[in-house]
Amino acid sequence: MQGALKAGLLAAPEIMVSDVSADRLKYLAEKYGVQTTANNVQALRAAENILLAVKPQSCGSVLDEIQAVNKPDQLIITIVAGVPMAQIDVRQNLRVARVMPNTPALIGQAASAVCFNPRAAAPDKEFTLRLLRSIGAAIEVEERDLNAITGLSGSGPAFVFRLMDYFVQAGEGLGLAADKARALVYQTFAGSARLAQESGRPLADLIAQVTSPNGTTQAGREVLEQSAAGQIIGNTVRRAKERADELAGGR
């Protein structure tokens, strides 16, 4: 919502938010000037496009309300993890976009993947991609890839934060003050990611660029690359993907 408003894609009076929390509705109305309601049906009847952002365990009751309103001219954009488009469009009469964003959306740096069902038209795709790109980067994919993307980039920030925490702990273990270790680690991760994006060079080339023969980086790399780190990361992402599969199967 913040990204769409900032990008001029939507104006505040065009947005209605429905939520079970009165405090949350009050906050959003005051901060962004949007319309609010505690009644999902009211929001569904008024909306041209619906952004479905609920917990998977709450999805069933909301889908019942969507089906009860039954406005097939609406576009449903769902970010509900593990719930396939067929479960959203049980009557096979809705236009659906399924999205896997991630939490850096909060600062306009999301990595989002989106797929569309066959009823979604070109304007639906254009609007959805513009919406997602107002909060970061977005790519279109096939739905069969979305659970893998959930494990990779949807859950990925938590894994990256854990790695950052390990680096901070390593710095503290070497005698650095915690605040200094954090500052250096945060900027090292941010700067490395930006360099990788902007240089366009293969990661292997960037690794080699930092590594001098018989130097400090090579010494550290030998420990890292002789460990099971690659396998552990692979297993971590794979298990997150498998859990997305389980959620899709109702487990």
Q: Where are the domains of the chain?
A: 2-144, 156-248
Instruction: Tell me the binding residues for NADP(+).
Output: 53-56
Q: How many Cβ atoms sit within 10 Å of the Cβ of residue 174?
A: 8
- Domain 2-144 class, CATH top level: alpha beta
CATH topology match: 2-144 vs 156-248: no
Instruction: List residues forming the annotated binding site.
Output: 40, 53-56
Contact call for residues 114 and 99 (beta carbons, < 8 A):
yes
How far apart are alpha carbons 84 and 21 in whole angstroms? 26
Q: Can you name the CATH fold of 156-248?
A: ProC C-terminal domain-like fold (1.10.3730)
Q: Mind listing the pLDDT tens digit of every residue in the chain (251 residues)?
A: 999 999 999 999 999 999 999 999 999 999 999 999 999 999 999 898 999 998 877 888 888 888 888 777 789 999 988 889 998 888 888 899 999 999 999 999 999 999 999 999 999 999 999 999 999 999 999 999 999 999 999 999 999 999 999 999 999 999 999 999 999 999 999 999 999 999 999 999 999 999 999 999 999 999 999 999 999 999 999 999 999 888 777 77
**Residue list, annotated binding site for NADPH:** 40
Q: Is the pTM of this model over 0.85?
A: yes
